[in-house]
Amino acid sequence: MNLRIFFDPVSIELQPSDLIEPYIFANTISYYKTSFPDLNDIQIALIGLSEERGSKTNTGAEKGADEIRKKLYVLRRGSGSYNIADLGNLRVGINAEESYLRIKEVCEFLLERNIIPVLFGGTHDLDLGQFQAYESSKKLISVLNVDAHIDMNIPTEDISKNHLHRILLHEPNFLFNFSQLAYQSYFTDQETLTVLEKLYFEMYRIGQMRESLNEIEPVIRDADMISFDITAIRQSDAPGNANAQPFGLTGEEACQICWYAGLNSKLTSLGIYEYNPDFDDRRQTASVVATMIWYFIEGFYNRKDDQDFAGKNYVRYIVSMQGDPNQLTFYKNLQTEKWWMEVPYPNNKHQYARNSVIPCSYSDYLTANRGELPYRWINTHAKLI
């Protein structure tokens, strides 16, 4: 596939001079200017999005990608080899559905080559293309959505308000787990929560996250794909959105989530959506999104989890239980101090599941030592029956 036909080059006004600032972000990556970047050895591909026709409520989001670039390009490079390419802005299709298809095809091409697509700009419904890119991988995946709303409104012509419904009902079904962070109760009807809870999906309100962001880390560590709607960030930190709300995540918390996402060796794509420069005083939100991308990249280049649970970096703990199961197995990584928990797959029902070891926290281990089954174990086991 010739990816070049899908993209417009990075705007000339954004192309920096290495004679001025040799150590800024833009001068340490490859980007599409006159020739398309060589993807050999590339680990992360930045993709700007300018599609907004799937949303009825955030007109102006099509202009966001370049404003984010302006802020990202002038940041100082972090650690690691920085094998990063900016492919430019993806050309929109004749309609929103064709744009989803283009995102799918591009991300699918990159995923097959172990290149992580980082999508930014456009509206939240574009994660349909991000999700569909996994269809050909022939494995079950876990999706993490970060949003103040749970976008399952039916019926509606506004795709950005029901794209999650389309993801959950997609055929063929390759979705193993869905989790949502930072939803706000006063935007969410109880019927939607009840349906998702019956499917054993994990939902976390802002208040629950505030109690301990460390307890949310295993949820992020379990994701293959993250879709982040900046509506989840409070208006004072991220005003650049027609639907910005007074309450939500802080900019620091959003960056912390992206740092955890970068560290997650299982995660293979990230999308950050709904930035609208028309509402962004002094381009504050563009700076927040750029910093989120920077922290994701920094996390990526600090990945340490090899997930070789029989290796020397892991200690195994066996906890005896009364009843069924009669024991639980935990693993602790001595380098990162992260915990994992074993859940058996009955009869190998899920042929594409990579293994039966899931991320957990130290508190799950303590719960098992009290003779109780951890919530994460119960939820995962229920999905496997």
Residue 126 in this model has a pLDDT that exceeds 90: yes
Q: What is the DSSP string of 252-271?
A: HHHHHHHHHHHH-TT--EEE
Return d(Cα 309, Cα 354) in angstroms, integer. Answer: 13
pTM listed for this prediction:
0.94
Q: Mean pLDDT over residues 107-132, rounded?
A: 98
What average pLDDT does this structure show over 349-361? 68
Do 111 and 117 meet the contact criterion of CB atoms below 8 Å apart?
yes
- Measured at the alpha carbon of residue 223, what is the angle toward residues 219 and 229, in degrees to the nearest 5? 85
pLDDT band at 155 (very low <50, low <70, confident <90, very high): low
Instruction: Round to whole Å and give the CA distance between 235 and 123.
Output: 17
pLDDT given for residue 71 in this prediction:
96
User: pLDDT, tens digit, for every residue of 228-240?
Assistant: 999 999 999 999 9
184-209: average pLDDT:
92
Strand duo 141-146 + 225-229: pairing: parallel
Name which of 156-170, 268-282, 331-345 the model is least confident about.
Answer: 156-170
Q: Which residues contact 191 (CB under 8 A, 6 or more apart)?
A: none
Contact, 384 vs 343, CB < 8 A? yes
Domains of the chain, each with CATH number or no CATH: 3-300 (3.40.800.10), 314-384 (no CATH)
- H/E run at residue 183: strand 175-183
pLDDT at position 348: 54
Q: Is there a contact between 203 and 196 (Cβ–Cβ < 8 Å)?
A: yes
pLDDT given for residue 20 in this prediction: 65
Alpha carbons 286 and 272: distance in angstroms, whole number: 11
Where does the pLDDT of residue 351 fall: very low under 50, low under 70, confident under 90, or very high at 90 and above?
A: very low
pLDDT exceeds 50 at position 339: yes
Using alpha carbons only, give the angle 61, 301, 116 rounded to the nearest 5 degrees. Answer: 45
Mean pLDDT of 333-337: 91
* Nearest Cα residue to 54 out of 164, 159, 157, 131: 159
Given a cut of 60, whether residue 34 has pLDDT beyond it is yes
What is the residue-wise DSSP string for 58-124? -TTGGGHHHHHHHHHHTSBP-SS---EEEEEEEPP-SSHHHHHHHHHHHHHHHHHTT-EEEEESS-G
Q: Please say if the pLDDT value at position 98 is more than 90.
A: yes
Q: Report whether pLDDT(13) > 90.
A: no
Asked whether 125 and 160 are in contact (CB, 8 A), the reply is yes
Question: Is 18 a residue whose pLDDT tops 70?
Answer: no
CA distance 349 to 230: 37
In this prediction, residues 133-139 reach a mean pLDDT of: 93
| Helix ranges, 328-369 (H) | 362-369
Report the alpha-carbon angle 188-360-224, nearest 5. Answer: 65
**Is the model's pLDDT at 352 over the cut of 50?**
no
pLDDT (mean) for 55-82? 93
CB 236 within 8 A of CB 246: yes
Residue 1 has pLDDT above 90, yes or no: no
Taking residue 272's Cβ as centre, other Cβ atoms within 10 Å add up to: 28
* Cα–Cα distance, 24 to 73 (Å, whole number): 7
- pLDDT higher than threshold 70 for residue 243: yes
Give residue 16's pLDDT band: very low, low, confident or very high (50, 70, 90): low
State phi, psi for 152 to the nearest 5 degrees.
-130, 30
- Indicate the angle between helix axes 251-263 and 284-300, nearest 10 degrees: 20
